[in-house]
């Protein structure tokens, strides 16, 4: 079966996470992805470890399946010529050099579109191509700090905390993917390509959603609330007899069902708890009552009763516990791929479940330069020329 993006060619000259994560999603959807890497060292994440599996870093493996790897020296004139040739037959170029770098190399959008008017160039930077910070490097950790995300993450009496994954990179990869899909649709209608300017900072600020809106509408600076929700109650981690359980009561009807499970249905009719606004105002009192009742039974028993009652809840799993969950297995969120160096390589599956054009796992995360010779021959270079370019550090 063909993928949704079958026939689309992506030339990906990005490194680390945001760009590679974006191009992996496009590859999962059926696009051909050519990953351009530094001729000597490759993508930086190839060296980010441990853990390593037979020389391949787990970090690199997480975001690079369904791609071909080609090494190229973009500082050489011949390397630039090869890049232009590849871009002339590609639909999308993804890059995350510092703002203006590609233009200085003569490989910016204005130069590339002369050979390919339908080309889409997605540029990912820390702060975008405009503004006083446009020349600064952008790293996920810095963006989490500057965007305000860390100021609202952590316990109220503790210090600011970053999210446990590079969330700004992940969100930027998703936003870039959305932008590319929109640009492809526009090109389908007009035949015209365009440039996409994506910044980690913009993406992280956009993803503050209701917290940002609370400030813009209410004028109160949000603070760290730990595991509490700023707008809903009860909606947090609760202690049970033998561990912790997240309970997320989203409306008044769920609160009534929750109090019935607790064995105190009258709680839902008390004036101080009758609606979410009152519950939020009296959150500390309500939480104390709930925790006293929840401490009388183990978390497994509470979960079973809450599930039957339709009250959203869930245990705090370790990563290992999560991957053993029968729901995760049923959704095929772990996939195995053949790899030339790694036996039974396991990777996180795709959340995209399309009925007509399902996601496919066609290619293992490529070895450094695994497809260089193949791709060069496809655009007209012969064996002798390829050997010469290897000797001269062009590829």
Peptide bond into 73 cis (omega under 30): no
Q: What is the mean pLDDT of residues 53-58?
A: 95
Residue 29's pLDDT band, with cuts at 50, 70 and 90, is: very high
Catalytic annotation, pick one of 12, 28, 169, 202? 169
* Residue-level pLDDT at 28: 98
* Residue 215 burial (CB count, 10 A): 15
* Residue 334 burial (CB count, 10 A): 12
For residue 225, pLDDT over 90 is answered with: no
For residue 1, pLDDT over 90 is answered with: no
What is the rounded CA–CA span in Å between residue 55 and residue 279? 54
* Residue-level pLDDT at 39: 92
Q: How far is CA 366 from the centre of its chain?
A: 20
Task: Quickly list DSSP for 244-268.
Answer: EEEEE--SHHHHHHHHHHHT-GGGG
Q: How many CA atoms lie within 13 A of 254 on its CB side?
A: 17
Residue 230's pLDDT band, with cuts at 50, 70 and 90, is: confident
* Residue-level pLDDT at 59: 97
* Residue 159 burial (CB count, 10 A): 8
* Residue-level pLDDT at 243: 87
pLDDT in tens, 93-152: 999 999 999 999 999 999 999 999 999 999 999 999 999 999 999 899 999 999 999 999
Query: ∠ CA 391-48-333 to the nearest 5 degrees?
Result: 115
Mean of all residue pLDDT scores within the chain: 95
Residue 360's pLDDT band, with cuts at 50, 70 and 90, is: very high
Q: What is the mean pLDDT of residues 354-374?
A: 96
* Residue-level pLDDT at 168: 97
Instruction: Return the SS3 of 214.
Output: helix
What is the rounded CA–CA span in Å between residue 370 and residue 364? 11
Q: How many CA atoms lie within 13 A of 302 on its CB side?
A: 27
Contact 22, 122 (CB under 8 A): yes
Contact 19, 67 (CB under 8 A): no
For residue 2, pLDDT over 90 is answered with: no
pLDDT in tens, 174-224: 999 999 999 999 999 999 999 999 999 999 999 999 999 999 999 999 999
* Residue-level pLDDT at 221: 95
- The token duo for 199 is 């910044």
What is the rounded CA–CA span in Å between residue 5 and residue 2? 8
* Residue-level pLDDT at 162: 96
Strand-pair category, 56-57 with 244-248: unpaired
Residue 336's pLDDT band, with cuts at 50, 70 and 90, is: very high
pLDDT in tens, 271-282: 999 999 999 999
What predicted TM-score, i.e. pTM, was given to this entire model? 0.92
* Residue 198 burial (CB count, 10 A): 25
* Residue-level pLDDT at 193: 97
Q: What is the mean pLDDT of residues 247-266?
A: 95
Among left, alpha and beta (phi > 0; psi -120 to 50; other), residue 243 is left
Contact 135, 100 (CB under 8 A): yes
- The token duo for 112 is 């590339």
Q: What is the mean pLDDT of residues 312-334?
A: 94
* Residue-level pLDDT at 223: 92
* Residue-level pLDDT at 303: 94
Examine the residue annotation and report whether 91 is marked as an active-site residue of this protein: no
Strand-pair category, 9-12 with 32-38: parallel
């Amino acid at each position: 079966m063909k993928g949704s993006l079958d026939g689309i060619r992506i030339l990906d000259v990005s490194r680390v996470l945001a760009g590679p994560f974006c191009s992996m999603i496009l590859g999962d959807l059926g696009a051909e992805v050519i990953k351009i890497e530094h001729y000597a060292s490759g993508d930086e994440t190839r060296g980010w470890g441990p853990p390593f599996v037979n020389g391949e870093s787990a970090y690199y493996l997480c975001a690079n399946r369904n791609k071909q790897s080609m090494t190229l020296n973009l500082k050489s004139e011949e390397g630039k010529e090869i890049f232009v040739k590849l871009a002339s037959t590609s639909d999308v170029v993804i890059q995350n050099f510092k703002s203006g770098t590609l233009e200085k190399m003569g490989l910016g959008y204005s130069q590339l579109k002369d050979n390919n008017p339908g080309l889409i160039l997605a540029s990912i930077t820390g702060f975008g191509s405009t503004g006083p910070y446009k020349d600064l490097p952008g790293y996920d950790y810095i963006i989490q700090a500057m965007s305000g995300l860390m100021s609202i993450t952590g316990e109220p009496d503790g210090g600011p905390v970053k999210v446990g994954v590079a969330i700004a990179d992940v969100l930027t990869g998703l936003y870039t993917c959305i932008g590319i899909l929109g640009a492809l649709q526009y090109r389908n209608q007009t035949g015209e390509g365009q440039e996409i300017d994506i910044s980690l900072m913009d993406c992280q600020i956009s993803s503050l959603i209701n917290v940002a809106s609370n400030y813009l509408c209410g004028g109160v600076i949000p603070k760290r609330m730990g595991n509490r929700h700023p707008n809903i109650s009860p909606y947090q981690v609760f202690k049970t007899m033998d561990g912790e359980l997240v309970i997320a009561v989203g409306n008044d009807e769920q609160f009534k069902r929750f109090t019935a499970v607790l064995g105190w249905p009258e709680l839902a009719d008390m004036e101080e708890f009758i609606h979410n606004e009152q519950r939020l105002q009296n959150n500390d009192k309500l939480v104390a009552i709930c925790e006293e009742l929840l401490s009388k039974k183990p978390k497994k028993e509470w979960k079973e009763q809450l599930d039957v009652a339709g009250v959203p809840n869930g245990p705090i799993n370790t990563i290992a516990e999560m991957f053993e969950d029968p729901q995760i297995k049923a959704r095929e969120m772990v996939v195995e791929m053949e790899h030339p160096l790694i036996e039974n390589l396991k990777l996180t599956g795709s959340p995209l479940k399309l009925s007509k054009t399902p996601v496919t796992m066609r290619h293992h995360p490529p070895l450094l330069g695994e497809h260089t010779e193949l791709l060069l021959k496809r655009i007209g270079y012969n064996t002798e020329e390829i050997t010469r370019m290897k000797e001269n550090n062009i590829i």
